Structures are given as C-alpha cells and as structure tokens.
Structure 1
Amino acid sequence: MARAKNQAARREQLVLAATEAVGRHGLAQLRVADIADAAGVARGSVSYYFSDIGELLQQVYQRAADRFFTSRSAVAAGLPDARDKLVACARLGLPDGPDDELALVLYEFSSATHDNPVYSALAQSLFDRQVALYASILEIGRAQGHFEPTAPALDLAANLVVLEDGYGLHIVSRNASLSPERSLELLLGYARTATGCPDLRPDRAVDGPAARPRD
C-alpha cells in the first residue's frame, strides 16, 4: 500500500510540474526535460510514471478542467439562490490575473486543438459541461422567479461561457483595460440584460460559500 501511495504522490508531483512547465514554456516548446526540471527529478522519472508525455498532458488538462468546472459546480450546488449561483460561477470562471497558471494551461491547450483531435475533444467536453452548468442555473432562476430569460437557456449559457473565455484570454494576455474585476462587471452586465435580473452584480455573494476555491 505504501508503494502505491508513493507512486500516486510522484505522479501528482509530475502533473503539478508539467502544469508549471506548460504555463512557462507553452505546449509547442515543451520538452520532457522542462517537466523533469520543474519537478526536480531525472528525465527518466517522467517516462517511468507515464507511458508518454501525451498521457501526462491529459492529466494536466484534467486538472485545469476540474478547476473551471468541477470546483465551481460544487460551489454553485451549495448556494440555494440562483442569483448567488450565477454570480459565483461567473467569478470562478475568470482567471485570477495574468499569471493564473491553470487558466494559462487551458488557453495553451485551446491553441493546440486544430492539430490535435484529443485536445479538441477535451475542449468541447469542457465547453459543453460549462454550458450545461449555466443553463441549469438559468432554469433554476426562472423557476425561483428571479430570471426572465430573453432567449433559450442553452443559448444564453453558451454566450456566458464564450464571454468568459474571451475576457479570460485578455486577462492572461495582460490587457490593462480588462482586469478580472472589470471583466466580471462586463460579464454580469450581459447576464443582467439576458435575464432581466438587476441583482446580478459583482458584490453579490462575495463572502461565505461563494468564496473562490483554488486547486
């Protein structure tokens, strides 16, 4: 059992190191040596614990996807009011800033989807799950009497996810005109218009269960 735990810990160490390496070097320039250096291990350790670098990178992607779907889905589930759910999800869907490692990783993978069908499938799966999350919140808000959607829930949800992605790209690109705070204001501005709900504002549910969980 101890051996299995040690192997799991070493694999996790390499996933974290690979995440750092992707954020620092990008996918196109990434080498096994970069991952080994970030982990402080010999290069052979990478191939020992992972059959190939593709398997390791899929674990890196999954870690980032968990941050932007699984974690915020759990936060939303703990909030009974759909208005709090939507504001919390919008806040958690944006990068913390230009050095947000997991956000950088997702954008690196997105840029590689054209040439890699595996990454393309992973990106579509994450998009679809995020859309479903927002759509469910919109439906709950309508049932609670808070929202009067101007279009089908899936359409509005897709727009929210695309806006997140767009604003997030500007954030990690160090666009001084679009800070995380400004991006959240703009994203929620669209949400207010789309739902007819004036209560969707950045200062809603800032504390407590909607606080930003990380990693």
Structure 2
Amino acid sequence: MARPSRKPVRREHLVAAATRAVGRQGLATLRVADVAEQAGVVRGSVHYYYPDLSELLREVFRQAVERFCTDRAALISTMDDARDKLVAAARAGIPWRADDELVNVLYEFTTAVRQDSVYSVIVESLFGRQVTMYDAILEIGRAQGHFDLTAPVADIAANLVCLENGYGLEILAGNAVMPPQRAFELILSYARGATGCAELTADPDDAEVTRLRPRGDTR
C-alpha cells in the first residue's frame, strides 16, 4: 500500500512559516529565504512546494482571511442576545496588540491590492463577509426589540467594518492617542447612535479575554 502523501502537510507548514514572516517583517522585503528560515528548511524546499512565491503568499492571505472570519463567526455564534453579539464582534474586529500577527498579515495584504488582482478579490471577500456578519447581528437585534436602527442595515454594517479597519491601522501604527480600548469605545459609540441601544458598552475587564488569539496562544 502506498504511503499517504506528505505534500499537504508540508505545504501547510510553509504557509504557517510565511504567515509568521509576513507578520513580523511585512511584504515589501519578504524573500524566499525568510520563509525558509521561519520554516527551518532550505530555500529549495520552499521552491519545490511553491515554485512561485506569489502563489504561497496568496495562500497565506486566503487562510488568514478564513481564520479571521471563521473564528469571529464562531465567537458570536455562542451568544443569543444581539447586543452581546455586536459588542463581541466589535471587540474581536480590532487588534489588541500592535504585534497581533493575524491582523498584521491582513493589513499587509490589504494595502498591497495594487500588486496582485487576486489580493483585491480576497480583500473584497473579507469586507463583504464582515458586512454580512454585522447585517445579521443588526437584523437579529431589531427582531429582538433591542435595536431601533437610524439608517439602512447595510449602511450601518459597512460603517462598522470601516471603523474597525481605520482604527486598526492606527493601533498597529502605535498611535499613542488611539489605544485599543479607546478605539473599541469609539466603535461602540457609533453603534449606540446607529442602533438606538444605550446598552452597547465596553467592559475593560474582559477586552483581552475575548479577542481573537493567534493559533497556539493559550494565554
């Protein structure tokens, strides 16, 4: 009997290594050698599984988006009350550390859309999935009687996503006047006005507990 191919496992190992490399040094100066160093292999091994570095980077971005969206959806699926869902979604949508690997990777690729049309498609998918998530939360909140929306659902959802993106960039840039908790509170301030729900408030005690953690982070 033929032994199972190790190729998928090794490719996945290289994707994880490339993710770390992008998160730590960005895309602009990334080389195959950097991925190989993170993976603990020679450069030839990277070329063997990914002859074109751009193919590997597309897979890194695709998987980062999938992780972010899937983990976020899983988090809010455990809650019944739309108010809890919205607060949790907003909390998980921003980086709580400037060195948050997953969010750094997402922003690196988002700002590189002009380099590769595939990136642009993935970025649009990321935005669309987040808007759809907020759409659902807002509709649930309205049905539960918690939200009295002051604008169309799609508009509020899009604004929430754009606020996350904008504040996220400031956090990753280390802007001292925009720490994560402040950004979180400002997003919820908009949400309160848009939903007419004064109960959408930040709890500083659990902000670190419910953020999306990188894989393997058990803190």
Q: Judging changes above 3 Å, is the alpha-carbon distance between structure 1 residues 82 and 213 closer, same or farther for their aligned structure 2 residues?
A: same
Q: Is residue 2:207 matched to residue 1:212?
A: no
Letter in 1 for 2:12: E
Q: CA deviation at 1:60?
A: 1.1
CA distance in 1, matches of 2:161, 2:132: 10
Residue identity matched to 1:15: V
Alignment partners' CA distance in 1, 2:68 and 2:199:
24
Counterpart in 2 of 1:202?
202
Judged with a 3 Å threshold, the aligned counterparts in structure 2 of structure 1 residues 185 and 67 are, in CA distance, closer, same or farther, namely farther
SS of 1:199's equivalent in the other structure is coil
Which shifted more, 40-49 or 121-130? 40-49
Amino acid at match of 1:141: G
State the one-letter code of the partner of 2:82.
Answer: A
2:60 & 2:205 partners in 1: Cα distance? 30
The equivalent residue for 2:87 is 87
Query: TM-score, length-normalised on structure 1?
Result: 0.92
Residues in 2 aligned to 1:133 and 1:21: alpha-carbon distance in whole angstroms: 30
The corresponding residue for 1:122 is 122
Task: Give the gaps of 5 or more residues in structure 1.
Answer: none
TM-score, length basis structure 2: 0.90
| Partner SS for 1:98 | coil
Q: Is the 8 A contact 2:138 2:147 kept in 1?
A: yes
How many residue pairs end up in the alignment? 212
SS in structure 1 opposite 2:34?
Answer: helix
| Counterparts of 2:206 and 2:143, CA distance in 1 | 24
Q: Is the 8 A contact 1:87 1:204 kept in 2?
A: no
Are the equivalent residues in 1 in contact too, given 2:87–2:202 (CA < 8 A)? yes
Rounded to whole Å, the distance in 1 between the matches of 2:112 and 2:92 is 24
1:88-107 map, 5 Å: 88-107=88-107
Matched, 1:8 2:8: yes
Asked if structure 2 preserves the Cα contact closer than 8 Å seen for 1:17 and 1:38, the reply is yes
Q: C-alpha separation between the residues in 2 aligned to 1:26 and 1:182?
A: 26
The answer to whether the aligner puts 1:73 opposite 2:77 as a matched pair is no
CA distance in 1, matches of 2:137, 2:206: 18
Looking at structure 1, the residues matched to 196 and 204 of structure 2 have their Cα atoms a distance apart, in angstroms, of 16
The question of whether the paired residues in 1 share the 8 Å contact of 2:50 and 2:56 is answered with yes
The offset of 1:170, in angstroms, is 0.5
Please state how far the C-alpha of 1:63 moved relative to its aligned partner. 2.7
1:172–1:213 distance in 2 versus 1, CA, 3 Å: closer
What residue in structure 1 maps to residue 57 of structure 2? 57
CA distance in 2, matches of 1:204, 1:21: 31
Shift of 1:9: 2.9
Shift of 1:80: 0.6
- 1:147-158 matched pairs, under 5 angstroms: 147-158=147-158
Q: Which amino acid aligns with 2:73?
A: S
Aligned-residue sequence identity (percent) comes to 56
Counterpart-to-counterpart distance in 1, 2:51 and 2:115: 21
1:136 equivalenced with 2:136 (yes/no):
yes
**Equivalents in 2 of 1:20, 1:116: separation in Å?**
20
Q: Tell me which moved more, 11-20 or 59-68.
A: 59-68
In the alignment, structure 2 segments of 5+ residues that lack a partner are none
Q: Which amino acid in 1 is paired with 2:69?
A: F
Paired residues for 1:167-186 under 5 Å? 167-186=167-186
**1:204 Cα deviation after fit:** 9.2
